[in-house]
Amino acid sequence: MAPHILIATLQSAFLSLCSSLVATYFTASNPPILALVTFSLLSTPPNYLWQQQVEKLLPGYTPQKIEVEDGGSGVTVENRLNVTNTIMKFTFDQTVMALINVTLFIGGVRLLQGVPLDECLQAVKEQTIPMMFAGYKLWPAVSLLNYTVIPVKRRTLVASVVGLGWGVFLAITASR
């Protein structure tokens, strides 16, 4: 494994642990810490590799011809934010990837605790859409920042840090 993917994975697992501990400390909830950390270890590498592939396919910054007043050719080439690519990545992130990640999270964390498969599927059926819509209050802004100002090797970390707050928020909301 390349160092960056390893680091990103360990960071995510650590943040998942922190999130669980904060939720445990500040709420009456009793989150499944081992399952949450394990899920984080399993889900970060594919997400990291996916982000890299997407960036290759749809680079956020591409060379673009810029008109300049230099008295000469009047044109220079500079790397600028590629709005089309950014909008495509953003849209895909908030729909297809959100659906996949939420589904895997709800089902996966339960499976890791030994919950029977039919109960895991029932939880996925009942909770996926509400969790996605709760996420829309937060994740579109994060995704937009991630694709515009955050370098690709830091993206999973940013997502993890926001995920820390997100995990705690879910625990607090659930415990009311």
Ligand X SMILES: *[C@@H]1O[C@H](CO)[C@@H](O)[C@H](O)[C@H]1NC(C)=O
- Applying CB under 6 A, the span of 6-14, 42-50, 55-63, 94-102 interacting with ligand X comes to 55-63
Beta-ladder partners of 79: 63
Q: Which of 9, 43, 44, 85 lies at the binding interface for ligand X (CB under 6 A)?
A: 85
Binding-site size for ligand X (CB under 6 A) equals 7
Tokens for 9? 């994975």
Give the 3-state secondary structure of 124-161: HHHHHHHHHHHHCCCHHHHHHHHHHCCCHHHHHHHHHH
| Contact positions with ligand X (CB under 6 A) in 8-27 | none
Closest approach of Cβ 65 to ligand X, in Å? 8
State how far the Cα of 89 lies from the Cα of 151, in Å rounded to an integer: 15
Beta-ladder partners of 133: none
- Applying CB under 6 A, the span of 79-87, 106-114, 124-132, 135-143 interacting with ligand X comes to 79-87
Note whether 82 binds ligand X by CB under 6 A: yes
- DSSP 8-state secondary structure symbol assigned to residue 97: I
Closest approach of Cβ 129 to ligand X, in Å? 32
Residues that bind ligand X (CB under 6 A): 58-59, 62, 64, 82, 84-85
